[in-house]
Amino acid sequence: MSASQIKLSVDNPGVFHSPSVNSEFAVQASELLQENHDKNHIRDESGFHNHMVHHFLTLFALGAPPSVLQKQRDNHVERPIGPLDEAVVNKMYDYEGYQEYLGNDKHYHDFLVFFEREIDKKGYEAVINEYCLKGDERANDMLVRMFMGFLHPIIHLGFGVEFKQPAIIAEALAQAAIHDSWLSSFLLGAEIAAQKTGRGKNMVELLDEIRADTKLSTAARWEDDNKIRDGIMVRAPEEMIKYASQWKVAPHEVMNINAEMTNAVLYFTGGAQHPPKLIKYDFYYMHCVNCSIFFDAVLKQAWISNENKARRLEWKGRIDLCMYTSRRSPEPLIDEIVHYKPKIPGSWDKVFERVQNHHDDGHASKLVRALAHGEALCKPYENDPKFRIKEGMWLQLGHMAIDSVESPGKAWVRSAGFPEAWQNFEDRPRAQL
């Protein structure tokens, strides 16, 4: 399949999917995503990410009927892709020319065509290995950019790999290329520091240590525009690197460590509540959850070395720890999950049906699918004390997700560890206390 063509198939329904995936939805979604690929920028005029790919692929995997597609189509704001500059594309084959356009939003179309042509020539597997995983200066820089923008580029890449869509992989590479790279000092710094530390620690252990370190856990301030860049990386960068470098992954243990990462992310995300306020998921933590499913997809790819799988997983865990810290490191309230009373009790299928019809840009549906996937991924480890989310808590988290986005006020709380973030949310009904 060409790197400029999108064609979904029920033969590739994703690592987690409903048995009711259907070919009619696949055809209609492919047409809409093809139009998006050909005509739209990866960001809108305000700089927010285009989530159309994420939303429609998630709906496809969750078995949404064709009628849902058009209803959700209008939730997405579009921006024209802009003209193509062939001279710029040709310069990108030279490393200095390639570097010249990195981080420049105006050159998304140029990068898209460049990566389409590279994929058509070499195959997407070789292109990802060369441009993101090779370990040289260019690949390290690109891998950093993949983790920028609250993980959007690497989530996009994950969708492309999971559903075997070269055109979506080209979009993801172009999207990463126009992001900045200020996280490089943290991600590469933690990697260097990890070589000097001894035994690694599990993520739950590190969450506890970060929360107890008052210099680090309070480094981000409410008034910071970007609480990682302007907070942690200014006031406690060495402390953040110290803890992040202790999250280590050996190539032979990627499968069980991936499950541990997924479980820990759900633990601090689902538990980041502020009673008696309404249950809400933190917007930033939610992206850590939504990204988790794609690491399972990547670990299943034979064309990625075990060493690169381990490295990517280390970076994901370190970003998770940094994200947790940046929202004031709230203590995960596990009882909020265990004792939650669903608004409409029911099975996962009922949750899937509700989220398919929920009016948003796909964040909620991605969250629900990642939660359901996490349950299956973590089931073999339920007796391990590091795995705090287990058994019926997964479905509880699913009900919390759909109930919270349907409840009054904004769908998400932003920066859940700050009391200020909760001021405009209502208290729970007395029956839920």
The reply to whether 171 and 308 lie within a common domain is no
Q: Which pLDDT score is estimated for 433?
A: 54
Do 150 and 207 lie in one domain? The reply is: no
- pLDDT of 431 reads 57
CA dihedral (323, 325, 331, 337) in degrees, to 10, reads 0
Are 283 and 411 contained in the same domain?
yes
Which CA distances in Å does 296 have to 21, 289, 384?
20, 12, 19
As a whole number of angstroms, the distance between CA 374 and CA 84 comes to 41
Inter-residue contact 362 to 54 (CB < 8 Å): yes
Name the maximum alpha-carbon separation found in the chain: 65
Cα 395–chain centre separation: 20
Residue 423 burial (C-beta neighbours within 10 Å; 0-12, 13-18, 19+) = exposed
* Contact indicator for 170, 230 with CB cutoff of 8 Å: no
Q: Which of 151, 180, 209 is the last residue of a domain?
A: 180
Domain count, the chain: 2
Q: Note whether 418 and 283 are same-domain residues.
A: yes
Cα 49 to its chain centre, rounded Å, is 13
Q: Do 265 and 349 have their domain in common?
A: yes
Q: pLDDT truncated to tens, each residue of the chain (433 aa)?
A: 899 999 999 999 999 999 999 899 999 999 999 999 999 999 988 888 999 999 999 999 999 999 999 889 888 888 999 999 999 999 999 999 999 999 999 999 999 999 999 999 999 999 999 999 999 999 999 999 999 999 999 999 999 999 999 999 999 999 999 999 999 999 999 999 999 988 899 999 999 999 999 999 999 999 999 999 999 999 999 999 999 999 999 999 999 999 999 999 999 999 999 999 999 999 999 999 999 999 999 999 999 999 999 999 999 999 999 999 999 999 999 999 999 999 999 999 999 999 999 999 999 999 999 999 999 999 999 999 999 999 999 999 999 999 999 998 999 999 999 999 999 999 998 655 5
Look up residue 105 and give its two tokens.
């939003």
The residue among 180, 204, 228 that closes a domain is 180
Task: Give the end of a domain, one of 153, 180, 207.
Answer: 180
Given a contact cutoff of 8 angstroms between Cβ atoms, the answer to whether 363 and 51 are in contact is: yes
Q: How many CB atoms lie within 10 A of CB 233?
A: 21
107 and 242 co-located in one domain? no
Task: Check whether residue 163 and residue 192 sit in a common domain.
Answer: no
Name the residue among 365, 355, 348, 338 with its Cα closest to residue 270: 338
The answer to whether 300 and 15 are in contact (CB under 8 A) is yes
Helix axes 23-39, 52-61, angle to 10 degrees: 170
Q: Does residue 358 share a domain with residue 225?
A: yes
Q: Do residues 344 and 208 share a domain? A: yes
Burial grade of 5 (CB within 10 A; 0-12, 13-18, 19 or more): middle
Give the pLDDT of residue 45.
83
150 and 195 both lie in a single domain: no
Cis peptide before 342 (omega within 30 of 0): no
Give the up-direction half-sphere exposure of residue 178: CA atoms within 13 A in the CB hemisphere. 23
What is the Cα–Cα distance from 355 to 346, expressed in whole angstroms?
13
Q: The domain containing residue 142 runs over which residues?
A: 1-180
Selection from 60, 69, 48, 34 nearest residue 168 by Cα:
34
Q: What is the rounded distance in angstroms from the CA atom of residue 48 to the CA atom of residue 260?
A: 31
Residues 191 and 160 in one domain: no
Same structural domain for residues 89 and 238? no
